[in-house]
Structure 1
Amino acid sequence: MKTVVIATNNAHKASEIAAALPFPSWEFKTLDDMGIKSDPDETETTFEGNARIKACAARRASGGLAVLADDSGLEVDALDGAPGVFSARYAGEHASDRHNNEKLLAELSEVPDENRTARFVCTLVFIDEDGSEHIARGTVEGHIGRAPRGEGGFGYDPLFWPDVFDGKKTLAEVSQDEKAAVSHRGNALRDLRSQLEGFCR
């Protein structure tokens, strides 16, 4: 059995990843499952760079096991790609989702609807035991609304209207299964699975 350490303590994220990469000989473990403390500073300016920082730190802490890390966030065209890699701390280092959403709405208050285009981005970095690396990226295009809608999801989901739903629902108004079918992380995981299928036995 091959152990893959997911560089997160989020059990929900780990179960989503395990479901998207159903290789029979693999078992996925979170940092908590492995008794690993790993919280490196994310100092890069790209999602790929920060995902690699997390993957490399988890690989060192696990003694060289295979690892998988992700970094994701929201890019708003009218804000030149912000909040980007600062999505989780847009309103400050320990900002809540509500505060981040309030700041985003304030920044876009004078931006007309047709210019409020945005996308969620997820980049995955998988490093195998032999040090080989696979990178996968997923996005979902949409636009930013003018007020939160929906009780589900997290982060900027209540403000994000995906194009794939024809402007009828925010990401916070759909089921987890509907979200996974179109989300940036879901798309990145499908990309990674297609890359790895030839290597997994």
Structure 2
Amino acid sequence: MDILLASANQHKVRELRMIFADHRVITPPELGVVFEHEETGDTFFANAYAKALAFFELLQWQCRHSDIPDPTADDTLVIADDSGLCVDALAGAPGVFSARFGAEEGASSDDERTALLLQKLEGARSRGAHYVCCMIGIRGVDRFYCAQETWRGEIALERSSGKGGFGYDPVFMLPERGVTVADISDAEKHELSHRGRAARALNGVLASKGI
């Protein structure tokens, strides 16, 4: 099956290509289309669905004027996800604003956002947190499939020197292992992560529908 992914984020593309290894994952640039979508929803589902639908509708129009895959074809599925980090001591923030966390304070990179997060948690007694991923597979306005999963952990006291993962991974601690996500292998991350769990759950839903 061709998975038409509503993202060109290289970190996310790399992860999803490993997770959906039995399928062909195709990005907007590889299709020759420009896709940008502003996430304005107040839930992960709202953002993921709106993004998936916007990409689906763009491809529907484009396939009439070029040779890109038809998003309604039986062997094709448009997929989008929205993910984020929810920190207990921050009342669930940054949540759906994870990618824009601290923008008003000048944070514009992963390193700056993780540094700001650690700063805001200085002295906090609770460091519990969880990742969320909502993943949508869509074949039309009224025909879509959804899976949402979480990954529980804690925010570390300091940034890890590990080179794995991206985003908040260097400060997302796995207490049972005593390491952050940046310290584990890609294969381990895909097995444990919110995105890996959501992708497998979505795969299960699709399989049950014969897709």
Question: Structure 1-normalised TM-score?
Answer: 0.88
Distance 2:172 2:15 in 1: 21
- Calculate percent identity across the aligned residue pairs: 38
Q: CA deviation at 1:89?
A: 1.2
* Aligned partners of 1:55 and 1:125 also within 8 Å: yes
Which residue is 2:166 aligned to? 154
Helix, strand or coil at the partner of 2:38: coil
Which residue is 1:109 aligned to? 122
Distance 1:110 1:176 in 2: 32
2:9 is the counterpart of 1:10: yes
Distance 1:89 1:101 in 2: 12
Q: CA deviation at 1:200?
A: 3.5
Helix, strand or coil at the partner of 1:197: helix
2:137 is the counterpart of 1:140: no
Q: CA deviation at 1:167?
A: 4.2
Unpaired runs of 5+ in structure 2? Answer: 61-69, 72-76
* Aligned partners of 1:140 and 1:162 also within 8 Å: no
Size of the aligned set, in residue pairs, is 194
Unpaired runs of 5+ in structure 1? Answer: none
Distance 1:161 1:3 in 2: 34
Q: CA deviation at 1:73?
A: 0.7
Which residue is 2:199 aligned to? 189
RMSD value, Cα: 2.0
Helix, strand or coil at the partner of 2:86: strand
Q: CA deviation at 1:60?
A: 1.1
After superposition, residues 24-43 of structure 1 pair within 5 angstroms as: 27-43=24-40
* Aligned partners of 1:11 and 1:30 also within 8 Å: no
2:93 is the counterpart of 1:82: yes
The 3 A distance-change label for structure 1 pair 29 and 200 is farther
Q: Larger deviation: 190-199 or 13-22?
A: 13-22
* Aligned partners of 2:19 and 2:190 also within 8 Å: no
The 3 A distance-change label for structure 1 pair 147 and 104 is same
Q: Larger deviation: 52-61 or 5-14?
A: 5-14
What is the letter of the counterpart of residue 47 of structure 2?
N
Q: CA deviation at 1:77?
A: 0.7
Q: CA deviation at 1:32?
A: 1.0
What is the letter of the counterpart of residue 181 of structure 2?
L
